Structure 1
Amino acid sequence: MFKDKKLLSILGLSFISFFSTIWIRKADLMESRNFITAREIVFNNEWLVTTLNGQYRFEKPPLPTWFTAVVMKISNNFSDEWILRLPVALVSVLLIFFIYRFVQELSNNKNLPFLVSFVATTTFMITKVGGENAWDAYPYIFMFGSITYLLKSINSKSFLNLLFASVLLAASLLSKGPVAIYGMFLPFIISYIWIYKFKKIQENHRQIILYVLIGLILASIWPIAMILENKELFFSVMNKEKNTWTSKHVKSFFFYFNYFYFMGIWIFFSIITFFKKWNLKNSEDNKFFKFGILWSILTFLLLSFIKMKKERYGFPIYVVSSIPIGVILNYYLNSDWNLLKKSDKILFYMQATLITVLSIGSIGLIFWKKSNFYYLTIPFFILLVYLFKDRLIDKKNFKKKV
């Protein structure tokens, strides 16, 4: 890991991206519930049976709250929101690590792991949710890591990787139940089988079954303990939570079409990715690109079928969409400018102009007291300094690349 300079570089950028936004917003209702429950864990020294204002807290699995409680106990700080958001920022950096390793497993292109991770690090909604210590980021981040190490275990036949994948699966389930299985794992499996064929899954079916069993066993410890604690209340809460998915925050099937807006600086690439037929020349890049597109579409559709919708519930769409956008970015940065089609050049100019203008304009956003817009500033600075410094404005490469 420490010999991989690109990985170290992207992790450094992700630290800037996530840790620079944890002080911005006031805690909303969900964050406040997490903080109160974590505080009661520490005050009561009761880690297994969680409570909210003295009442059983069975509505949400406890892992994110446990992380928050650990930070409270270590720091002896129970009120500063930026300190209480340290766990989600750290886990968000971990997401970038998982993305980097995931791309390495499915692509031999040495540039793609960095570029796909780079897109994720500078995507508006990922940065925003990664700075809010509610439950929404945790299940999908752990699930992405679980998928990554499942692939690594299949490719390497390593039981250690398989065990780690199972632990991450359990962590996902203990963060928000089975939402990430439906919203990330299911579309991944379908996309992987469709693009990379069923043979590899079939050859490793015992390994995959073992992975699922270990994960489920580990994840079942807490709910079983809560059933033993108060069976009637636990099942009553579970039934109520099940009903909320069809009765609360009901939105149109097309609600997540604002996805493009929340891609932030990558809005042009995110739109054109789905509507333009790309000729990437490298067959492996084409396959990986198609996989990323299919995974993104299926994730979008599955989440859209659920009646209950919030903007942050679309988090996995942004994570997965970093894959095809990263491939397109790699296409531009490694193509001879003179050989590009006119339409490709126009798209590149639109995307590059947006990044440049907003990167410069982000200086003004710092002094504009609108917290939501500040989430844009850090990614813009990162892009302006890092992405453009060598590849887009370097005079030696200007004629070749731009």
Structure 2
Amino acid sequence: MSRENRQLLALLVITFFAFMIHNGVLDANIMEARNLVTAREILQHHNWLVPTMNGVLRLEKPPLPTWIAAIMMQLFGQDSLAILRIPAALSAMLLVFFLFKLTKELTRDEHLPLLAGGTVATSFYIFFMARTITWDIFCHSFMLGAIWMLYRGWNRKEQAWKEFTWAGVLMGLSFLSKGPVSFFALLLPFLIAFFASYGFSGAKMQWKPLMVALGILLAFSTWWPLYIYFQHPEFSAYVAEKESAAWMNAVCIRGTTTGVSLCSQEYGHYPLRLPWLFRMHGKKSGSLVITSFWHFGFGPLSFCFLHFLKRKSAT
């Protein structure tokens, strides 16, 4: 067995114990309960495209994780919370696999992919998301796979149709899981780091496959919102306005708890970014400085600055 296969086997064992064992012990939190109630009503009303919760339209979240929960209920019943959470655990395992492969291609190091995968598999946020069938683990897992495909594609010397096709599919699935959340949390920092380190030469050569990826992303991410809009235009406009206000409120207005939470979430993504910084350290020291400033400074400090500026102006 090769070194890579041994490391993947070790990560499989780690993730199985981290995500699968006793995953029915925790009670369902409010977000998981909402997802499960919506999934149950999908089966009751036989309406997969227009989900409801307690008889009221439930359009605040994209439907993919709810569809997955409904499929699990249809196959295995609704009694075992542990069984219903299996897709979240599998998605978390997939996230660790994507990170392992991305780190291996970024660094060519023999041990860092295993260390990065093991670190993420045992970090609290991933550990918690893998044990609740909500939206987050799916969107981040799909997005990390898309980032891996984008990196592979932009480093190919010929046009990488397969990689960019998969990138478009995975980005689309991420959007169907939780909208643009992972585009800001994972994709944007990656793009800044990549172009700061490697420039735009690879992107220019791959512009045709990239257009295909963007087309697939657009198709995946717009068909359901457009369907809902034409079916329920007034309620769709209301939800869009409410969710936009909630995002602005979360970033700029809320109090101390949210400000600290946003900063801690920003720092919580560091295990996913460290392999990239290691790679750039051997590439361009200037790029390391720029991207380190973005990752370790500007990102979290900007959220804290917005929060404390708001507090200062309110006093």
Deviations 1:349-386 (A, max 9, x none): xxxxxxxxxxxxxxxxxxxxxxxxxxxxxxxxxxxxxx
User: Is the 1:17–1:121 contact (alpha carbons within 8 Å) kept by the matching residues of 2?
Assistant: yes
Distance 1:5 1:118 in 2: 13
Shift of 1:233: 1.0
Matches within 5 A, 1:274-293: 283=282, 293=292
Moved over 6 A (4+): 260-263, 285-292
**Amino acid in the other structure paired with 2:282:** S
User: Is the 1:183–1:299 contact (alpha carbons within 8 Å) kept by the matching residues of 2?
Assistant: no
Where 1:210 maps in the other structure, the secondary structure is helix
User: Is the 2:160–2:209 contact (alpha carbons within 8 Å) kept by the matching residues of 1?
Assistant: no
TM-score (norm 2): 0.81
Q: 1:195 aligns with which of 197, 214, 222?
A: 197
In structure 1, the partner of 2:148 is 148
Q: Which moved more, 1:84-93 or 1:249-258?
A: 249-258
User: Is the 1:62–1:174 contact (alpha carbons within 8 Å) kept by the matching residues of 2?
Assistant: yes
Matches within 5 A, 1:3-402: 4-20=5-21, 22-76=23-77, 78-156=78-156, 157-247=159-249, 250-252=254-256, 253-258=259-264, 283=282, 293=292, 296-297=295-296, 300=300
**Amino acid in the other structure paired with 2:171:** L
CA RMSD, Structure 1 to Structure 2 (Å): 3.3
In structure 2, the partner of 1:320 is none
**Are the structure 2 counterparts of residues 106 and 257 from structure 1 closer, same or farther at C-alpha, using a change threshold of 3 Å?**
same
Shift of 1:279: 10
Where 2:92 maps in the other structure, the secondary structure is helix
Shift of 1:117: 0.7
User: Is the 2:149–2:164 contact (alpha carbons within 8 Å) kept by the matching residues of 1?
Assistant: yes
Q: Which moved more, 1:137-146 or 1:32-41?
A: 137-146
In structure 2, the partner of 1:310 is none
Distance 2:189 2:57 in 1: 34
TM-score (norm 1): 0.65
In structure 2, the partner of 1:356 is none
Shift of 1:88: 0.9
In structure 2, the partner of 1:398 is none
Distance 2:260 2:24 in 1: 32
Q: If you compute each CA radius of gyration, which structure gives the higher value, 1 or 2?
A: 1
**Are the structure 2 counterparts of residues 288 and 109 from structure 1 closer, same or farther at C-alpha, using a change threshold of 3 Å?**
farther
Q: Which moved more, 1:43-52 or 1:206-215?
A: 206-215
Where 1:4 maps in the other structure, the secondary structure is helix
Identity %: 30
Shift of 1:167: 0.9
Distance 1:29 1:36 in 2: 10
Deviations 1:263-287 (A, max 9, x none): 9xxxxx98xx9xxxx999x836989
Distance 2:94 2:81 in 1: 21
Distance 1:212 1:82 in 2: 36
**Amino acid in the other structure paired with 1:250:** R
**Are the structure 2 counterparts of residues 247 and 14 from structure 1 closer, same or farther at C-alpha, using a change threshold of 3 Å?**
same
**Unpaired stretches in structure 2, ≥5 consecutive residues:** 308-315
**Unpaired stretches in structure 1, ≥5 consecutive residues:** 264-268, 308-402
